[in-house]
Amino acid sequence: MSMVQTFAIPTEKSTKRLKFKVAANNTRKIVISSNWLPLMNFNAHDRIQETSLGRNKGMEIRRVLDLFAEQPDRTKKVYQRKYKTRRNNPLEVLLEVGSQKIINESFPADCKNLHIIFETNKITILPITEFQCEAIKNATPESRYDVFAALTSGVDLYSMEKTHGLKIHSALEWRPHEVRDKNRDLSETGALTILRNITGIKNLFNEDIGSINTSFLKDAMGTPVTTMIASLACDDFCNVKGSSLKQKSLEDLSSSIDMAYDLLRIIEAIKPPVICLEQVRGFYSSEIFRMIDLRLRRWGYSSNLLIGDGRDYGGLTSRVRGYAVFTCLDSPFMFEQPGARRTDPIWNLITRHLPDCRDVTHSKSLQNGLKSGRLRTITAESLHSPTILKSFARMARDSVCIKHNDRLYWPSEDLIKELMGISPNFKLDCVSAEIASEIIGQSIQVELHDSVMRSLACHLNAYFDNAYPTPALAA
Q: What is the pLDDT of residue 472?
A: 35
Three-class DSSP category at 231: coil
pLDDT at 380 exceeding the cut of 90? yes
- Residue 285 phi, psi (nearest 5): -105, 5
Instruction: List the single range of 118-127, 319-328, 413-422, 460-469 with lowest mean pLDDT.
Output: 460-469
Structural domains of the chain, ranges and CATH numbers in brackets: 14-127 (3.40.1550), 135-341+444-461 (3.40.50.150), 347-442 (3.90.120.10)
Concatenate the DSSP letters of all residues of 414-438 into one string.
HHHHHHTT--TTS--TTS-HHHHHH
Q: State the pLDDT confidence band at 405, using cuts at 50, 70 and 90.
A: very high
Q: What is the pLDDT of residue 393?
A: 79
Q: What is the pLDDT of residue 86?
A: 57
Beta bridge partners of 320: 309
Distance CA 78, CA 90 (A): 16
Report percent pLDDT > 70 for the chain. Answer: 89
pLDDT at 239 exceeding the cut of 90? no
Greater pLDDT, 138 or 73: 138
Q: State the pLDDT confidence band at 254, using cuts at 50, 70 and 90.
A: low
Mean pLDDT, the chain, as a whole number? 89
Q: What is the pLDDT of residues 347-363, one digit of tens each?
A: 999 999 999 999 999 99
Report percent pLDDT > 90 for the chain. Answer: 68
Its sign, for the CA torsion 268, 273, 279, 282, is positive
Q: What is the pLDDT of residue 82?
A: 65
Q: What is the pLDDT of residues 149-208, one digit of tens each?
A: 999 999 999 999 999 999 999 999 999 888 888 899 999 999 999 999 999 899 999 999
46-64: string of b/e by CB count within 10 Å (b at 16+)? bbbebebeeebebbbbbbb
Torsion on CA atoms 84, 88, 90, 95, rounded to nearest 10: -100
Its sign, for the CA torsion 374, 377, 382, 387, is positive
Q: What is the pLDDT of residues 320-338, one digit of tens each?
A: 999 999 999 989 999 999 9
Residue 59's nearest CA partner among 117, 9, 109, 121 is 117
Q: What is the pLDDT of residue 65?
A: 85
Q: Span 217-226, mean pLDDT?
A: 96
pLDDT at 129 exceeding the cut of 90? no
Q: What is the pLDDT of residue 35?
A: 81
Pairing of strands 167-172, 203-205: parallel
Q: State the pLDDT confidence band at 33, using cuts at 50, 70 and 90.
A: confident
Q: State the pLDDT confidence band at 76, using cuts at 50, 70 and 90.
A: confident
As a whole number of angstroms, the longest Cα–Cα distance in the chain is 96
Task: Identify the DSSP state of 179.
Answer: G
pLDDT at 70 exceeding the cut of 60? no
Distance CA 59, CA 76 (A): 15
